Chain A
């Protein structure tokens, strides 16, 4: 399967799980944005450079 095919399959599976009820045109529009999410999620994950136990930021403190 091509990368786009894999992406489309993952997109459809996650969309079904979400419970959002979209028509075909709306799904196509959303799939365009989905590509950006895949790219940005990969960027924040950073190829496993982080320790498993790495602490997240505290939400309600401007500096930590």
Chain B
């Protein structure tokens, strides 16, 4: 077995008695001990609690109290997920001492499934303001090259999973915050359909765009985590009441005959991508074609329509959350978050409603395209991870992203690793499905990962 197993590999070995949860936790803690000082992925690492939970899992398994395949799996939470009795800071001075009374819905579900909690992970301030150096904790660094950006805002989760500190973690995605760190850190990460996972107990950024989801090493791992995290939560008004499939059980069987639509104009004419991203994407389409998929190009409204729509909504909604604190405690925020969020003061109600009307038009156009194909494919990001020193406050406002369209639509969107550039940094592609067809998206990702060897490569720390 590879020194850092995937969740599926670890679960199989724990289930067969070949691997002890305590030994697995100790191996992860040893990697943390050796490298965390260079990665900064944790805001709060709780070694004692992790070991105690691993011992408890081991005893439960020994006594036959089985909870499922996540029992004993090293895990951690983006620090906007509330954890009862444990500080939830949102990586911000404003919540530095905030200790919630209870777990977020998804945290409670994962605890029920038996994951071993290693603690709380770095994010961008309130899931948007980063990478920042003026906050109480430094930004996470990319394990593939620590001079490079992890992507955000689930930055600590991306870094910690890639480094093998944990096998999976939670993220949230309002404009790409699960998929971008998955892309830059070489992971699998899914932004599920809006409404599939509860948002209750997660610090909000923008109500109508926020999604919770997992980041892990493989699409199969993400499916296993979705199995544990999904479910109807009456405390979240957006939570869907639907019959849930077993995501993991749905990802086998291949993709013969599946119709894949490539949104080529997004990355060939609406904006541009690096040569490495382009080459990896075309090679990946060849792999999926070999698996029996039927691949055609499709056309959606221009990328900047999706991006501007998402940004106007996100900034307005975030401003409505933070307005009282921005008025009273402007200087307690980091510069990136406050200067981005305060722009909500300049968006009028008519602008917001124009964005909501455009959103309806965009969703209608997407739904029409999705009658002729089963999933969409496109790169996740335009380049591999940029250098941290190249990141600027308004850089993310300047070019439309490939992730925001699917926050606007609420569609399930998975990012998977599809190669490496000449610097050894991961590349990625995105698979997008119809609402609540998350299992199909994961099936495409799983099929691709099984046909390629990218999952064999880990960062050298």
**Complex-state Cα separation, A44 to B305, whole angstroms:** 7
Q: A24 CB to closest chain B CB, in angstroms?
A: 14
**Complex-state Cα separation, A61 to B360, whole angstroms:** 11
Which among B305, B339, B434 has the highest number of chain A CB atoms within 10 Å?
B339
Q: Name 10 A/B residue pairs within 8 A (Cβ), A-sorted.
A: A11-B346, A15-B346, A29-B393, A33-B340, A36-B311, A44-B308, A45-B351, A46-B358, A62-B409, A62-B410
Residues of chain B with a CB closer than 8 A to A57's CB: 356-357, 359-360, 363
B346 touches A63 (CB 8 A): no
Residues of chain A with a CB closer than 8 A to B326's CB: 20
Q: A39 CB to closest chain B CB, in angstroms?
A: 8
- B327 adjacent to chain A (CB < 8 Å): yes
Residues of chain A with a CB closer than 8 A to B434's CB: 63
B394 touches A60 (CB 8 A): no
**Complex-state Cα separation, A29 to B363, whole angstroms:** 34
- A64 adjacent to chain B (CB < 8 Å): yes
Q: B402 CB to closest chain A CB, in angstroms?
A: 17
What per-residue 1/0 map shows which CB atoms of A24-64 lie under 8 Å from chain B?
A: 00100110111011111101111000100011110111111
What per-residue 1/0 map shows which CB atoms of B300-334 lie under 8 Å from chain A?
A: 00001101110110010000000000110010000
**Complex-state Cα separation, A43 to B96, whole angstroms:** 38
**Complex-state Cα separation, A38 to B238, whole angstroms:** 30
Interface size bracket, A side? 35 or more
Question: Could you list 20 further interchain pairs (A-B, Cβ under 8 angstroms) beyond the known A57-B363, A59-B208?
Answer: A15-B345, A21-B327, A29-B393, A33-B340, A33-B393, A37-B346, A39-B308, A40-B307, A40-B397, A41-B347, A41-B354, A44-B309, A44-B354, A44-B358, A45-B350, A45-B351, A45-B354, A50-B354, A55-B357, A60-B194
B356 touches A34 (CB 8 A): no
Q: Contacts A40-B308, A41-B312, A60-B237; is A33 near B397 (CB within 8 Å)? A: yes
Chain A residues with a Cβ under 8 A of chain B: 11, 14-15, 17-22, 26, 29-30, 32-34, 36-41, 43-46, 50, 54-57, 59-64
A56 touches B359 (CB 8 A): yes
**Among A14, A32, A36, A59, which residue has its beta carbon within 8 angstroms of that of B345?**
A14
- B267 adjacent to chain A (CB < 8 Å): no
A62 touches B193 (CB 8 A): yes
Q: Contacts A34-B346, A40-B311, A41-B347; is A55 near B304 (CB within 8 Å)? A: no
In the complex, the chain B residue whose C-beta lies closest to that of A15 is B345
A54 touches B238 (CB 8 A): no
Residues of chain A with a CB closer than 8 A to B240's CB: 62
- B342 adjacent to chain A (CB < 8 Å): yes
- B137 adjacent to chain A (CB < 8 Å): no
**Complex-state Cα separation, A5 to B60, whole angstroms:** 70
In the complex, the chain A residue whose C-beta lies closest to that of B356 is A56
**Complex-state Cα separation, A55 to B40, whole angstroms:** 46
**Complex-state Cα separation, A16 to B207, whole angstroms:** 27
Residues of chain B with a CB closer than 8 A to A60's CB: 194-195, 208, 237-238
Q: Contacts A36-B394, A62-B410, A64-B363; is A20 near B356 (CB within 8 Å)? A: no
Residues of chain B with a CB closer than 8 A to A22's CB: 330, 342
